[in-house]
Amino acid sequence: METTNTNSSIITDKICLICWDIIVCDTWAKCFICDILLHDKCETKYRTINNRNHCQCPHCQDVGTLGRMYKFNTFSRYKK
């Protein structure tokens, strides 16, 4: 189960497949086929090192299945 701490932007149980660090940023990449997560910087580095102009999942190898995910803080919208 995903747990989000909105104060520190830590998403527990969410580990980047490339660097194996916990994802603590507000945006990340996710494969919609195999549900792996990557830091934005790790996905960009992986794509650049392999000379690709398209996204390809490093786990399932499907092309075009990575999408950018944004942490949405519902509380900031309703603060008065």
Asked if the structure places residue 29 within a domain, the reply is: yes
Asked if the structure places residue 17 within a domain, the reply is: yes
Domain count, the chain: 1
Asked if the structure places residue 2 within a domain, the reply is: no
Please list, residue by residue across 47-77, b when 16 or more beta carbons sit within 10 angstroms of its beta carbon and e when fewer do. Answer: beeeeeeebbbbeeeeeebbeebeeeeeeee
Residue pLDDT tens, the chain, 80 long:
444 444 444 444 689 999 999 988 888 999 999 999 999 999 988 888 888 888 889 999 999 889 888 877 555 555 55
Which range marks the domain in which residue 20 is found? 9-72
CATH number at residue 32: 3.30.40
Asked if the structure places residue 3 within a domain, the reply is: no
Asked if the structure places residue 79 within a domain, the reply is: no
- 3-state SS assignment for residue 23: coil
Does the predicted model carry a pTM greater than 0.85? Answer: no
pLDDT on residue 73: 56
Asked if the structure places residue 78 within a domain, the reply is: no
